[in-house]
Amino acid sequence: MPDPVSPSLVSRRLMLAAAAAAPILGVRAADAAAPFLNTNAPPFYRFKHGTFEITVVSDGPLVLPTLDVVLENAPKADLERILTANRMPTDRWIGPQNVLVVNTGRHLVLIDTGMGDRSKVLGPDNGHLMRNLALAGIDPAAIDVVAITHAHIDHCWGLVDARDRLNFPNARVAIAMSDYEFWTQESLLANPAARDFVLYTRTNLLPVRDRIIPVRDGAEVVPGITAMATAGHTVGHHSYVIESGGRRLVNVGDVLHHHVLLLRHPEWHNIFDSDKAQGAATRRRVLETMSADGTECVLYHFPFPGVGRFVRAGQGFAWIPTPMHEG
Ligand SMILES: [Zn+2]
């Protein structure tokens, strides 16, 4: 006959057994500190577009110290009022960089390249495209075409690495020749304000001169992707219309770079527009056209992943992001 066992002895034995098993089961005290992960924003986002697969890959954010340098003719009081009402900082502009990879099933097309390895002149935490492409499972050597919206530093400086090697060795480069020729002018090297920008733009663009696909309005880059002239931000700025299975997505590049201010006031000037009046006119035309039929757009500097639609709101427009799970 077994020895009688008291209830208190049973519970003590169970507690001892649980304590002994805890390390094996991975149980630990509830108040143990979890390590901080210190990871950045999501590096990529993938969705279907008709039969195409599109991946938005982040290059990391740009940070400019004040909005005064971004919006030239905006009354400061109006600017601060709108930013404050929308719970946004008034002392700096933070601009994501949403690079696009379009897999058409036949071609792999990269749209813009981020800041590259050369400079942190526009903030400390960018130039991450190559790392994030790897995280997204995209092989740079498999890119067939790099389509450039315009030749500003945050869009074309990722064509080469820090040792001037091509980051996309098998790709042709679609770009407007007007932008290529303007931003590689040797004479601009004598201008102290432009020197560094032009120097590294030449470092990135001159090596791809013999693999350029000249872009013009209405020209097909690859089947399913067509260029659309949207000049003003630069002389050769082009958007890219991506069409598959009856769906349409337009990458409008830097026609707008702020998801609140320039929708409320498309007439405000972006100080980085080469032709500010033309830039404002193009911005209004794009907003009116895209909002009229609800065309889905992707914006390079809008909050990640920068996919959504414009709608009319009062005298201006508003931005409605596409939920990320919508596909
Ligand atoms: Zn830009």
In a domain, 10, yes or no: no
Amino acid at 40: N
Strand 145-147 to 108-111 pairing: parallel
Tell me, in angstroms, the distance from the centre of ligand 1 to residue 15's CA: 62
Q: Is 258 helix (H, G, I), strand (E, B) or coil?
A: coil
Strands (E), the chain: 44-49, 52-58, 62-64, 93-95, 98-103, 108-111, 145-147, 172-175, 212-214, 220-222, 225-229, 238-244, 247-251, 296-298, 307-313, 316-321
Q: Is 51 helix (H, G, I), strand (E, B) or coil?
A: coil
Tell me, in angstroms, the distance from the centre of ligand 1 to residue 26's CA: 48
In a domain, 18, yes or no: no
In a domain, 3, yes or no: no
In a domain, 283, yes or no: yes
Tell me, in angstroms, the distance from the centre of ligand 1 to residue 140's CA: 22
Tell me, in angstroms, the distance from the centre of ligand 1 to residue 243's CA: 23
Helices (H), 57-128: 76-85
In a domain, 55, yes or no: yes
pLDDT (average), residues 111-126: 87
Tell me, in angstroms, the distance from the centre of ligand 1 to residue 62's CA: 9
Tell me, in angstroms, the distance from the centre of ligand 1 to residue 129's CA: 14
User: What are 182-213's pLDDT values in tens digits?
Assistant: 999 999 999 998 898 899 999 999 999 999 99
Tell me, in angstroms, the distance from the centre of ligand 1 to residue 323's CA: 23
CATH of residue 304:
3.60.15.10
Nearby residues of 260 by Cβ (< 8 Å), 6 or more positions away: 82, 83, 86, 88, 319
Tell me, in angstroms, the distance from the centre of ligand 1 to residue 154's CA: 5
Tell me, in angstroms, the distance from the centre of ligand 1 to residue 272's CA: 9
In a domain, 300, yes or no: yes
Tell me, in angstroms, the distance from the centre of ligand 1 to residue 42's CA: 19
In a domain, 51, yes or no: yes
In a domain, 25, yes or no: no
> Which residues pair with residue 111 across a beta bridge?
100, 147
User: What are 228-251's pLDDT values in tens digits?
Assistant: 999 999 999 999 999 999 999 999
Tell me, in angstroms, the distance from the centre of ligand 1 to residue 208's CA: 21
Q: How many of the other CB atoms lie within 10 Å of CB of 74?
A: 20
Tell me, in angstroms, the distance from the centre of ligand 1 to residue 112's CA: 9
User: What are 24-80's pLDDT values in tens digits?
Assistant: 555 555 677 898 887 766 799 999 999 999 999 999 999 987 777 778 889 999 999
Tell me, in angstroms, the distance from the centre of ligand 1 to residue 233's CA: 9
Rounded to whole angstroms, how far apart are CA atoms 231 and 80? 29
Count of structural domains, the chain? 1
Tell me, in angstroms, the distance from the centre of ligand 1 to residue 131's CA: 20
**CB burial of residue 4 (10 Å; 0-12, 13-18, 19+):** exposed
pLDDT for position 72: 84
pLDDT (average), residues 257-266: 94
Residue 211 in tokens = 């693999």
Q: Give the DSSP letter of residue 189.
A: G
Helices (H), 26-152: 76-85, 129-135
Nearby residues of 88 by Cβ (< 8 Å), 6 or more positions away: 260
User: What are 5-18's pLDDT values in tens digits?
Assistant: 444 544 555 455 54
Tell me, in angstroms, the distance from the centre of ligand 1 to residue 114's CA: 9
Tell me, in angstroms, the distance from the centre of ligand 1 to residue 95's CA: 8
Measure the CA angle with vertex 161, ends 155 and 165; round to 5°: 120
Tell me, in angstroms, the distance from the centre of ligand 1 to residue 230's CA: 14
Tell me, in angstroms, the distance from the centre of ligand 1 to residue 34's CA: 38
Range of the domain at 82: 45-321
